[in-house]
Amino acid sequence: MLLARVLGNVVSTRKSEKLSGAKLLIVEPVDFVDQKSDGKPLIAVDSVGAGEGEVVLVVQGSSARLTDASKDSPVDATIMAIVDYVEYEGRRTFAKSG
């Protein structure tokens, strides 16, 4: 799993039938300490209703096809949780506002 921040979305009107209705988001891996960029952005199917700016958990590989939103679909990354807070080495390094 990756900790990532949602940067934006991708709209594609023509795609595999298995992806019909799927929300595609651009996510950037972030580190656990200060949520700064920690890798190249990637596209992930949103299975939880995430929005721009939110910190999320992303699963990749064959596990990405195990959510209701991605089952039996040609996906390699799926957002499977919206993060409320992160505790790292005994201290809270991130907390969702609002």
Q: Look up the pTM and report it.
A: 0.89
- Is CATH 2.40.50.220 the classification given to domain 2-10+22-95? yes
Tokens of 5: 């921040």
Per-residue pLDDT of the chain (98 residues; tens, 9 = 90+): 999 999 999 998 888 887 888 899 999 999 999 999 999 999 999 999 999 999 999 998 877 676 766 667 778 899 999 999 999 999 999 999 86
pLDDT tens for 17-39 read 878 888 999 999 999 999 999 99
List the domain boundaries for the chain: 2-10+22-95
Give the Å distances, CA to CA, from 20 to 32, 45, 68: 33, 11, 13
Q: Strand locations in 1-98, DSSP E?
A: 2-10, 23-29, 42-46, 55-60, 77-82, 85-88, 91-95
